[in-house]
Amino acid sequence: MPEITIAPEMTLFDITDRFPETIDVFVANGYEHVGDEKKRTTSGRMVTLSQAMQMKGKDLAAFTALLENAVLANAKQEDVTLAVVDEGSRIFPTEGDIKVAGLLPCPVRIPLLEAFDNLSKRITAETGKTVGVRLAAASVGADALDEGMRALTDEASLPDIFLSAGFEAFFDRRNMARFKDQGVFVDRSWSTHNDLMAPYGLKDPDGHYALLAVVPAVFLVDRTQLEEGEEAPRTWKEILAPRFRNRIAMPVGDFDLFNGILLTIWKEFGDEGVKAIGRNLLEGMHPSQAAGRFAPKGGKGPMVSVIPFFFSKMAQFNPDAEIVWPEDGAVVSPIFMLLKKSAPKEAGRIADFFASREVGEILAHRGLFPSCHPEVENHVPEKAPLMWLGWDFIKANDLGELIPRVNDIFLKAGQ
Which of 151-155, 162-166, 288-292 ranks highest by mean pLDDT?
162-166
Q: Apex CA 169: angle with CA 112 and CA 363, to 5°?
A: 25
Cα 289 to Cα 127: distance, rounded to the nearest angstrom? 46
Mean pLDDT for the chain overall: 84
* CA 319/CA 298 separation, integer angstroms: 15
Q: Which helix (H) or strand (E) holds 86?
A: helix 80-88
pTM: 0.79
The pLDDT tens digits of the residues spanning 323-334 come to 999 999 999 999
Query: Residue 270: left (phi > 0), alpha (psi -120 to 50), or beta?
Result: left
Asked if residue 318 lies in contact with residue 297, where contact means CB atoms within 8 angstroms, the answer is: no
Phi, psi of 217 (to 5 degrees): -100, 125
Residue 101's DSSP bridge partners are 134, 162
pLDDT digits (tens, 9 = 90+) for 122-140: 999 999 999 999 888 776 6
Mean pLDDT of 346-366: 95
pLDDT band with cut points at 50, 70 and 90 for residue 144: low
Question: What is the arithmetic mean of pLDDT over 254-274?
Answer: 91
Quick one: pLDDT band at residue 289, thresholds 50, 70, 90?
low
Q: What is the pLDDT of residue 286?
A: 56
Radius of gyration in angstroms for the set of CA atoms belonging to the chain, rounded to a whole number: 21
Residue 342 has pLDDT above 90, yes or no: yes
pLDDT of residue 316: 65
What pLDDT does residue 81 have?
30
Is residue 294's pLDDT more than 50?
no
Task: Phi first, then psi: give them for residue 223, nearest 5 degrees.
Answer: -70, -15
Where do the domains of the chain lie? 12-85, 87-214+331-387, 216-330+407-413
Count, in order, helices (H) and strands (E) of the chain: 18, 10
Q: What is the pLDDT of residue 111?
A: 87
- Structure-model confidence comparison of residues 26 and 377, the more confident one: 377
CA distances from 18 to 46, 61, 68 (A): 16, 19, 12
The pLDDT of residue 273 = 97
Share of the chain above pLDDT 70, in %: 86
Nearest to 308 by CA among 327, 329, 333: 333
CATH of the domain spanning 87-214+331-387: 3.40.190.10
| CATH class of the structural domain 216-330+407-413 | alpha beta
User: Do the first three CATH levels of 87-214+331-387 and 216-330+407-413 match, i.e. the same topology?
Assistant: yes
Would you say 258 and 306 are in contact if contact means Cβ atoms under 8 Å apart?
no
pLDDT of residue 143: 62
